[in-house]
Structures are given as C-alpha cells and as structure tokens.
Structure 1
Amino acid sequence: MSFWLSIAVQTPAHSAIAGPLTYRSEFPLTPGSLVRVPLGQREVLGVVWQALDGPGPEQAGRDIRPVAGVLEGLAPLSANWKQMVSFAAAYYQRALGEVALAALPPQLRDLSTAQLARRLRRDAGAGPVEPPVATDSIALNDEQARTLATFESENGPFLLFGATGSGKTEIYLRAVQALLAREPEAQALVMVPEINLTPQLEARFIERFGSAAVVSLHSGMTNPQRLRSWLAAHGGAARIVLGTRMAVFASMPALRLIVVDEEHDPSYKQQEGARYSARDLAIYRGRLEGAKVLLGSATPSLESWHHSRPAAGDEPGGRYRRLTMAGRIGGGALPRVRLVDMNLQPRKTVFSAALVEAITQRIARGEQAMVFLNRRGYAPVLHCADCGWKSECPHCSAYRVFHKIDRTLRCHHCGFTQRVPRACPDCGNLDIAPLGRGTERLEEHLAELLAGTRRPDGQPLRIARIDADTTRLKGALESQLAQVHAGEVDVLVGTQMIAKGHDFRRITLVAAVNPDGALFSSDFRAPERLFSLLMQAGGRAGRDADYARLNGSASEMWVQTFHPQHPLFDALRRHDYPAFAAQQLQERGQAGMPPFSFQALVRAEARTQEAAQGFLQRASEAAAGLAGADPITLYPPVPMTIQRVANIERAQMLVESPSRAALQRFLAAWHPVLHAERDRAVTRWAVDVDPLAI
C-alpha cells in the first residue's frame, strides 16, 4: 500500500516550482517529519507538509518517486512552525521549500539517516534543562519595576522605548526569569541584530540561568555548533535561544516569549534569498504561538513607533502597547550633545581644535573616548590631480577603497583587489593621493594630533580601531572589546560596529566626525537611520553613573557637521526621539510613504542595463490588467544606486499601494507574469517586500 505525501524541498531558483512536491511512502508519515527524497539526480532533505488522498491530476500517468528515508529520532516540526514558514514564503514571494529548508541547519540538510541516528545517540540523554533559580542581585528602579509589572499583567505585543543605559537588558532577563518560574517547560527566544552583540548578551544570560539552559544560533557558528544548538532547541533541552535574525525560524515547541533587542536595526531584514524581516516575523510568530513579544529600542523604527501610538480623541491607538523608560540606571545623565559648525573651521579640518582638546582632557583624567565614522579603509578613493584618474572598480560602478595597511585597492562590493599602483595608470604621474577619509586614515590622523598626550600614569595613549577589517580573524572582535573594557584603550575608532549595543563603562566622550552624508539622501529612510545611529553612538558615553561621579565629569557627544541648524540635530541635542519621530511621520504621511503605504521592489540583474530594465518594463506592461480595482502604483524601472556589481547590471522597479492586502494580492497574481517575461538575458530577479533601502 502506498501513502501519498506533499513534501517541501528546495527547488532550483526561478524554477517556477513554488509549492511542495508529491512523493509516495510505504507507510504513513506525520506532517513535519524530516525525510530524504530524490530530486533530479540528487537526494535531498525534505519536510513532510501534509498527507494526500492520492496524487493530483497533474501527476496522472507519472511515476511518483518514493521517499528514500526518514530521519528517525527527531520529533516532527510543529504545525505552528509550518504555518509560519508558509506565511513567510507567501508574504515575501519565495518558494515554500526555499524558506523551509533555509530555516534548518546546513549540516542537517547534508546528513544521511544513518549519520543523524549516530549523532542523536551521541547526544542522547539531553532532556529539558532546569535552569538554576535566578537571584535578583540587581535591584530594579521605579521605571523598570513599573515596566515589568505592565508587561507581566497585560497583553502585547509590546514596544519598550528605553533610553540607552536605562536597563532594558535587565527587563529581558526578568521577563525570561518570570516565565521559567511560571512554566518549567517553557522556552524563550531573544534576538539581537548582529553577531558581535551575541557574546556579551550570552554572558549575561549564562550568568543568570546557567550555560546548560542557553544556546546561541547565528551564522558565525560552525555547522556542527549550529546543529547542536538547533537540536537542543527542537528537543526542548535549551530553554533560552539567543540569536540573530535566522533564529526567528528556530524550532521551539514550547515557545512562550520572544524578545527583539534593538528592534529598529536594519540587520533584521535579510538582503539575499528570502528577504524577510525577522522583527515582523517575530510579531507573527508570537500571535501564532500564543507567546508574548517584546520589542526593545532607544530609537524604535518609525513603523513600530506608529504601531504603538496611544489613542487620541477619535483616532484609535496602535496594535502595540508602548512601555517607556526615559531615565538611566543609577541616575546617570544622557551625554550633552555639542555641535561643531565645520563651516567655521579652517579648510580641510578633520578634527576641530576644541574636539582635540576635549579628547586630550578625557585621556589625562584616565577616561576613554570613542570616535565614530561609518566608512572603513584608509580613503574611499585614490585619485590623480593631473589627469583626474580615480580608483574605479573595473567590474562595478563604484570606487575601490584604499587600504594603507596592506597597500591595496579593494572593492567592497565585488571583492576585487589589486596592489596600489606606483604611478597613475593613465598618465604616469607619481603623485596619486587619497581622497576622503575612512577609519584607517582617521586613526592615523588622530595619532598625529594626540602624539604628545599622556595617560595619568605618564604612559603614551593607546588608540584602537574596530571595523570589518580589524575583526576578520576569529576571536579578534572579542579580544579587542576585552581590551576596551579593561581600560587598555584610551581612544576607540570605528564604524557602526562599535556604535550600538556595547556596554562601555569608561567611555565619557563620543565624537561623530562626518555624519552629513545621509541628511540629503534620495532614500527617505536615511534620516531615520542616521538619527538612530547617532543616538545609539552617543549612548555609549556615560553609561556608568558611579564612574562619572567619581571623576566629576559629565559625558559628552560631539557632532561635527556643516548643517548644525538641521532639525535632526536639534532633536538629537535634546535627546528627543518622540519629536524627531513625529516630524518624520508627518512628512511620510503627507507623501504617502511607509508606514502609511506599503511597498515592494522588483530587482533585476542582467548583462546589460537595457536588458534588466526591459524585463521590468515588460513585466509592468503585462501587469496592467492584474490590479483590477486594487489601488496599485507601478513606478518606471530605474538603475539601482550602484547599478553594476561584478559586471552584472542591476535595475529596480517600485510597486506601491495604500493597502497591504491589495499589494499582496497583486504580487501573488504578478509572480507567474514575472516568470513568463524573464528571458535568457536576465540572470536573476527578485521581489523584495517591505524594502528598507531604495
């Protein structure tokens, strides 16, 4: 007797096979079971989606292939997990099998049934862990106690709007602690936006709940580590899962609490493959699982801020419950923001004299300073003053960045790297020079300016740089951060890697050197990202109130700008996120932009820009009859900001609607049209729903 099964497998990209495939089995299998099945000439992992009464009409007369094997010893994936994957695949316009299989650890996809059986026998006996009883060693202040009480007594989702240093992490710890005290078998998921923020949060949770109850899930782990963590979460042994955006798909059968820290961070949006938002999926999963969801940020995304708006008059409130913690722990003050008008500085000034003096004074008192510039490398471009040559990448419509430390020109888009030429390749001029500044050049210039500065013990100052270049080796970031925490570094220079999430106790001065680029960007989200980044960077200063009182100095944030009168800087100076958000939401409402409308981008890649735009134009014309009565706007196709990467031309087209449901209906109907209109000239295309960068 044969049993017919619908099984999700990862089909080739753009194969137009979006749903599960039909296989047969000699015995019934529970939906959610993991199986090995043939696909073409290969044997791949699949997820049993549902049992069928028989093969469908499209399979009539075909030889339905049998299931090759079952991964025994693993409990089936839950119905809620399958529902979330189905929703994500439909909403973000991706194949079901692609999302389902990408959510599983890579090593699980490669293991045979026999190999998995051996692995499970080796890990046998790892049942649910009972975390040690956590002790409340840290007393909550009034704001924290009030916030926690509201969270425990009301329904969510919740947005915790807490100033930097207000103690949001302690709220997360107490919420997990209360959950585990109530429900011994419950599980909690705590997400952070970036891998480099995982170790310090993991240390806090292990200290509170023990190492056996806590596992991590992120792409920086080895495949065996990820499989071990996934199995512990799937089997219920892990009570707390800490992870980046991929962790939103973790199989957690007893999930009762989801925390999304720094919920505003763009890193929660996947930028390749299924372009999902882990923050938005966390909200959906919480509703599906009956789990409470807590979003936390000092600078919430404007979408979350809008969704948490209180009711006003006849206007209904948002779907989220807003919790506010405006003060810092221990009575510490937020840093004073000082704006430096660079129009009044001598030409080509990098650090104003007042800022250099302020940094010098901090070092002399034994304090630390942080200098922030969101551009790595020595200089963004090399150029020849005689003929105008610039270090363009031959494969991209971008410049190769000059890295002085290894004397290379490196493209940060395609990776093409060459040694710095001895002379201008076009005219032979020996005097080619860097143009602009990155963190590497900033570090060098700062060392020159502070050459005579001494620490309180008479030793010369120490400057460290943390960016993607200095943290490539495994363990490098942890080592550098440990030096900062230990007081071995006086001035820390870096990109956004150091600007958010880190609890630097001795930093009392933060400086943003060149933040003006985003003020007049064509991307309507650029001001939001800049304000958030500056607020987060400033939040690294003065986090230890006792340390500040001991030294008798208030913390400061210096911002060097050519536009000191800009409203963004006025709100920043007052630490007034609500005012900034109100102004931005008013502008977006008038322009009909998110969160007051809903968008999707269709991106196309081809060997020529004409082919890429031609595909999008044909798809747009073919869509004319699909929208029906739905209010859908299709804008003309245009080149992307960096239109050529690795010799591939890129174009995009924006689709917009005031109705999320209408946009989803249109995209579902349009998807077959996109498949049909693609020709051989188009190498790849993708739909990005709710895009963060346009």
Structure 2
Amino acid sequence: MTTLAQYGLLRVVLPVPLRREFDYLCPLPLPARGCRVRVPFGNRTLVALVLDHPTASEVPPDKLKPLDSVLDEEPVLADADLRLLAWATGYYLHAPGEVYFQALPTLLRKGETAGYRSMDYWHLLEPDARVSAQAVKQQQALTLLRQGPLTSGELDARGIGSPILQALARKGVIEKREQLPARDDWRPALAINQDDKPRLGREQALAVSLLHQAEGFVPFLLEGITGSGKTEVYLQAMEPVLAAGRQVLVLVPEIGLTPQTIARFQRRFRAPVSTLHSGMSERERLDTWLACRDGGTAILIGTRSALLTPFRQLGLIIIDEEHDTSFKQQDGFRYHARDLALLRARQLDIPILLGSATPSFESLHNAATGKYRHLILSQRPGTATVARHLLLDSKHVQLQAGLSPQLLQLMEQELAQGNQVMLFLNRRGYAPALLCHDCGWLADCERCDAHYTWHRQQSRLHCHHCDHQRPLPPRCPQCGSQQLMGTGLGTEQVEQALAGLFPQYASIRIDRDNTRRKGSFQQHLDGIRAGRYQILIGTQMLAKGHHFPDVTLVAMLDVDGALFASDFRATERFAQLYIQVAGRAGRASKPGRVVLQSHHPEHALLQDLANQGYRHFAQGALRERQAAALPPFSFQALFRVQATRAQYCQEFLQQLAGQLAPGLSPGVLCLGPMSAQMERKAGQYRYQLLLQAASRRELAGACRQALALIETLASARKVRWSLDIDPVELW
C-alpha cells in the first residue's frame, strides 16, 4: 500500500462540470503549480492542471489514486494567470476545471507538448517583385511578405486567401518552406513609422497625453464618436509601452474586423503582431499562445478568448467596442471579457483602455462615479463632419420593399452624384414568415415557437433559431392553395426590389447567407471600397467598424420592433446599433445623412438619439435605471433551465425558489420562475429564475445558497441548468 512518505499530494482541476478540485498521489519531486499531469478519473485518463501541494487531504490515504504521468517540466501557466482564473472561478461560481482549461489551447488540453513545431511559411523570393496593378490582393501579399515570412493562416487573417498565394507561387515570386516559428527578441529592432502618424486633433492629443502619464492600474474610458480617431489614440498609447519592452493585448469583438486593424498596426510598428481567434487552426493557436507567453509577440489582437492568453510582460490592455455583447460568453464558462480584463489589469498593475462610440451603461456609470477616467472625442479629424439625421414617417405612404418614396428620392440624389448608399436591415432572407393568402396558414418551425424565414434564392424555409431547414412547400399543407406569400421584409427582398428600381446601379448584399465562403466577406468589402457597388444592403455585420469614404447616405429600414421590446436592455442596444450604423455615413470629406424610417417617428427614444445624441440619451436612461433599481445600480444572476417538457423546468425552479426564498437576505429579490420569451427552442422548453441584489456580496451569497440547494433536488436530474452571473440578456 502506498503511503504519504513515498508520495506527495497534488490538488488538481479537471475539465469536468463539477464544482470541486481533486487530490492525487504523486511521486516526489512534485510538479510545480501550473504544470499539467495525466490522472485516472473513473474509467478514463484525463489531463489535469496542478493548483497546489496540500499537506493533507479529506480523502482517506487508501482511497487516493496515484497520477498516471507528469506532462510538463515547467508550468504552462504562471502564478499571475492562476490567480486570475481562481478569482474568475469564485466570482462566476463555475466549475473550476472548465474555467482553468479555458485558458489553455485545445492541443494543450489534449496533452500535446507545450512546444513549437515546424510549420509551412511563405517566403518572398524576389524583394523587388512586381505584379499587375489590377492584382490588388497579390500586391497586398507581397507587401506583407516583405516584412518577413508568414504562415497561410496569418496571411488569411489579413485577407489573403490560398488562391492568391498559389497564383504568386506559380509565378515563382514566393515559395513555401517548413521552419520553426521565429522567436527572436523583437525589442532591439522595434521601430515606429513616424510617416504613418497623422496630426492629432486637440481632444486626441489630450487623451494620448493622459494615457502616457498613466502609471500602474488606471482604467480609461475613451468615448469617441464614430470616425473621431479612436484607433489612432490606441496606436499612440501603445508607443511607450512597446518602447519599454512590454506587450500589448488588443481585444476586438469580431474576427471580420481584424484584417484592416492588423494592417494598420503593422504599418505603424516594426514588431511582431499576432492574432488569436476561432478561425485559426489548433496548431496556429498554440504557437501564438506560446509566442505571447514567451515574449515573442509584441502585440496580440484577438477576440474574447484571447483575454486568457498568458504574457511574459503585459503592459497595456485595449478593448475596442467595449459595449459589444460578443465580449460576454453565452455558454459554458459565462465570463465577460471586459470585466475580467479589468481585473487582470488591476492584478498586473497596468493601464486598461476601453473604447467605444456608444459605451455600455455600466462603463458610463463607472466613469460618472470616478472609477474610470473619462476621455471624450467629440470631433472628427480633418474636414469630416458629423452626419445629419432625418426621421421619416412610414405611415400613410406606399412602401416598396420597405422603402418609402422620400427615401427613394434621397437615394436617387446621392447616387446621381456618384456617391454610395447603405441600407441597413437586420433580417436576412426574403421574408421573416411564409403565409397562405387563402387560409392564413403560417410556416412554423416544428422545434421552436417561431416562424420559418423564407429564403427565396435557395427556395427553402430556414429557422434562424435552431437552424432547421426544409424545402419550400409547393402548396399550403392546410388548404392546398398555391397562394403562398412572404410577409415582412428581409435583405433578399430589398436586394431584388432595388435591382428593378435602380437597374443602372450595382448593388451588393452582405449578410451571413452570402458571406459563408471563406474570404468572400473581405472580397465584398474590397469591392465596395473599389467603387464596384453603389448600393450596399446589409445586416449588423456591415455596420461595425468599416470605413467607406464614398457612403453619404445610410438608412435604417425597419426598427419599430426594437422600440417596444420586453428586455430592459433593448433600448440601450438599439441606441448603440443606431449610432454604429449612422457612423458609416460621411466619414471622409463628403457630408453624410442618416435616415431612419419608422411608424413612430415621434417616439422619445428616436427623437432623443436624432436630436441630442447617444450621451444625452444614455444619461436619461441611466436615471430611469436608477429609479427602477436596475443594473448598473443593482446586480443580477440568472438561473436558466431547459428540458424536453415544460413541467420539468417548472417543477425544478418552483422547488428551488420555494426553498431558497425564506433564507434570502432582505436585499435580495427572487423573480420567477418565468418562461423564456421564446418558450420552446430546438425542441427544448426554457425557463428562468432571476436573482437581483443591491450588492455583489449579497448576490454571491444567494447564488451559493441556491447551488447548495440544487445538489439536494431530485428534480435537477431531469433538466439542464446553468448559472449566469451579470447576464447581458434574458431568454
């Protein structure tokens, strides 16, 4: 029998959905905290992460199992990373193993060696090589490769796909070679392209000056109208950090925004710029992760999960579009990257910069109470002016595919002057529902409480909630009529109508349906900037962060649904979207106009946004939130439950609420159980229970009570449940 004299104890976390840590025996000497080991778990062998070396265990010695093997000689995660993950585990009350393993690339979770492997890199054979002026992408590829070899994945992240590279290889201009990733120290070679730096405006210069003076942990909120030069402030804020040999982490909400961002950062700094996002291969993600940890990367630009990447010496965190809800993980470990980034900056004692044209109410509240330093950019640089806003009343007018006569006239004026027009509609497909004109039958999804969306080009019905698809029926299944028609408006329908209304102008539709092919989204954007399209039709993916200098008219076609939504955050999200869309107009020297069509142009929200702007709207909305004791003036936690029968959800939550309520402190509200707005989705019934408190401490205590109760409820075995701390949306 093994004894503790022969073995030491390891406390580890495992990638399992259990809210506990595990003890194992290990031969001496013990692996350090942050190393990976293999351990037996049931009838499996799992990779585990070492957290501690306890002197005693609650498990009897004869019940303790020895580990299988040690995977690392050196820790894969440093103490600072482990402290951040420990805090996140306690705050979000999630299974510790799932939290800690979120910080490891997939290959390390599988037990792969934490080391570099040789990969294929594209090399430029002729530094002075030239290609046709029409081959814009090939020219971009050559420009990038003049700065050094890059992998196919790195080039793809910059908008250069495999066909472009193969074409250059056939010309003998570039070739692929297998080599280890470069790990040279970038600090001695760091240089800043001074020719690329524009002259700063007064507000920009003040913001940069304050950022340069920051020492230690200082959170900044940079509120800048669209086109005001926030990215330039980011770039100049990074200069002293990089000059001191420290690294910078830049979080962005969308993968699609990274190519143009990367190109701009690379023009400015002669230093390694890496990306980290879900579109990369597992090997590329691991190599980037290692380069950040070992100090080989100067700047990392990534989406939400990049926050948990280890760095050798992180000196600054920047979060672009900090209000964006994509920074909140909506399944599994439900963390908010912005909030966790603030904690990471505090622990490392470094500045953090949150930027947005439409800051979240939480950030505005923190700035108003002095927790953040508030920097404001209210002017566009150069000759660019802020777009004028126009509200159009859709009542009592004949609409053509959602377009009013007034809007069509404005479009004609702008197009005739050689400008571009952007139409925004956040509903893809031809129509959001299919209706029988004779009997009123509606094509409903069998698995959701929702209608199918009619996609006319594909001749299919598609549920955008559960992704179920079916062919378009030739006739009504209820009465046999062939008089099937779409009801409502989608981007396909607008595109078709515009082809008839403006046949002399080329139009392009950008939504998830026609950007699925790899590289197609970037190709569409390149076509827009090259002037090949005059009319742009798109969903939300077209509204964020893109600079189209010739767009002088932007119109939102149908926003009335957002004015009367049940979620208290709906108006905040609509206002942010409205300002983002409006920001696409008049970004260069041409003046811009923003048109909003509504059946309720007199609505206070629309009037406030059009006439007073986002900040005025936000101040009024925050006063309303305070009067109603809603976040950010209170804190929430949401228990979500789903099951194949509504009865199971109701029974579980009623038992939980019934046993929890008597033990809650007076400052905690327990609201529910209540069904989701869409009760049934993908064949699952969905219910929720909301806890709200005036203090985080009280809310955390109530959640811990609830978690302890759930362990005792037999009804919990019939449902799938999750806990979401600081939810950004209700079901």
Q: TM-score, normalised by structure 1?
A: 0.92
CA distance in 1, matches of 2:697, 2:714: 26
Contact 2:430 2:490 in 1 (8 A): yes
Residue 635 of structure 1 aligns to a residue in which SS? strand
Q: Deviations over 1:201-253 (max 9, x none)?
A: 1111122224x611111112222221121111111111111011111111113
Matches within 5 A, 1:601-612: 601-612=638-649
2:428 alignment partner in structure 1: 376
RMSD: 2.0
Residue 53 of structure 2 aligns to a residue in which SS? strand
CA distance in 1, matches of 2:284, 2:687: 38
Which amino acid is 1:400 matched to?
A: Y
Candidates 53, 60, 67, aligned match of 1:51: 53
Q: CA deviation at 1:407?
A: 0.6
Matches within 5 A, 1:628-667: 629=665, 631-667=667-703
Q: CA deviation at 1:141?
A: 1.5
1:2 aligns with 2:7: yes
1:150 aligns with 2:210: yes
2:324 alignment partner in structure 1: 265
Which amino acid is 1:672 matched to?
A: A
Which amino acid is 2:684 matched to?
A: I
Distance of aligned partners of 1:488 and 1:38 in 2 relative to their CA distance in 1, 3 Å threshold = farther
CA distance in 1, matches of 2:99, 2:574: 32
1:194 alignment partner in structure 2: 254
CA distance in 1, matches of 2:277, 2:639: 28
Q: Deviations over 1:415-444 (max 9, x none)?
A: 111110000111111011111111111111
2:129 alignment partner in structure 1: none
Q: CA deviation at 1:291?
A: 1.6
CA distance in 1, matches of 2:620, 2:722: 33
Matches within 5 A, 1:211-290: 213-290=272-349
Q: Deviations over 1:119-177 (max 9, x none)?
A: 69974761432353112332212111111101222462010010100000011111112
1:413 alignment partner in structure 2: 465
2:186 alignment partner in structure 1: 129
1:484 aligns with 2:554: no
Q: CA deviation at 1:639?
A: 1.0
CA distance in 1, matches of 2:689, 2:507: 45
CA distance in 2, matches of 1:276, 1:631: 24
CA distance in 2, matches of 1:71, 1:445: 62
Which segment is superposed worse, 34-43 or 328-337? 34-43
Which amino acid is 1:353 matched to?
A: P
2:606 alignment partner in structure 1: 569
Contact 1:350 1:513 in 2 (8 A): yes
Contact 2:23 2:64 in 1 (8 A): no
Contact 1:37 1:45 in 2 (8 A): yes
CA distance in 1, matches of 2:383, 2:287: 42
Contact 2:265 2:273 in 1 (8 A): yes
Matches within 5 A, 1:532-611: 532-545=576-589, 548=590, 554-574=591-611, 576-611=613-648
Q: CA deviation at 1:280?
A: 0.7
Candidates 226, 233, 236, aligned match of 1:171: 233
Contact 1:643 1:651 in 2 (8 A): yes
Which segment is superposed worse, 390-399 or 569-578? 569-578
Residue 571 of structure 1 aligns to a residue in which SS? helix
Q: Deviations over 1:661-687 (max 9, x none)?
A: 110122123212123325366331001
1:624 alignment partner in structure 2: 661
Q: CA deviation at 1:26?
A: 3.5
Candidates 494, 500, 517, aligned match of 2:538: 494
Candidates 557, 562, 566, aligned match of 1:518: 562
Q: CA deviation at 1:118?
A: 5.7
Residue 513 of structure 2 aligns to a residue in which SS? coil
Q: CA deviation at 1:116?
A: 5.0
Which segment is superposed worse, 118-127 or 526-535? 118-127
The alignment of Structure 1 onto Structure 2 pairs a total of residues equal to 662
Contact 2:642 2:686 in 1 (8 A): yes
1:463 aligns with 2:520: no
* Gaps in structure 1 of 5+ consecutive residues: 310-316, 452-459, 549-553
Residue 415 of structure 2 aligns to a residue in which SS? helix
Contact 1:205 1:214 in 2 (8 A): yes
Distance of aligned partners of 1:661 and 1:17 in 2 relative to their CA distance in 1, 3 Å threshold = closer
Distance of aligned partners of 1:681 and 1:409 in 2 relative to their CA distance in 1, 3 Å threshold = farther
Contact 2:116 2:180 in 1 (8 A): no
Which segment is superposed worse, 159-168 or 96-105? 96-105
Contact 2:398 2:405 in 1 (8 A): no
Q: Deviations over 1:426-476 (max 9, x none)?
A: 11110111111111111112222212xxxxxxxx31111111111112111
Matches within 5 A, 1:113-128: 113=113, 123=180, 126-128=183-185
Distance of aligned partners of 1:373 and 1:592 in 2 relative to their CA distance in 1, 3 Å threshold = same
Contact 1:602 1:688 in 2 (8 A): yes
Distance of aligned partners of 1:666 and 1:122 in 2 relative to their CA distance in 1, 3 Å threshold = farther
Identity %: 38
Residue 6 of structure 1 aligns to a residue in which SS? strand
1:29 alignment partner in structure 2: 31
CA distance in 1, matches of 2:380, 2:634: 35
Q: TM-score, normalised by structure 2?
A: 0.87
Contact 1:605 1:651 in 2 (8 A): yes
Distance of aligned partners of 1:591 and 1:485 in 2 relative to their CA distance in 1, 3 Å threshold = same
Which amino acid is 1:161 matched to?
A: E
CA distance in 1, matches of 2:348, 2:236: 21
CA distance in 2, matches of 1:480, 1:124: 32
Residue 607 of structure 2 aligns to a residue in which SS? helix
Which amino acid is 2:602 matched to?
A: Q
2:149 alignment partner in structure 1: none
CA distance in 2, matches of 1:188, 1:38: 39
1:139 aligns with 2:199: yes
* Gaps in structure 2 of 5+ consecutive residues: 1-5, 120-177
Distance of aligned partners of 1:474 and 1:25 in 2 relative to their CA distance in 1, 3 Å threshold = farther
CA distance in 2, matches of 1:401, 1:95: 38
Candidates 485, 495, 507, aligned match of 1:433: 485
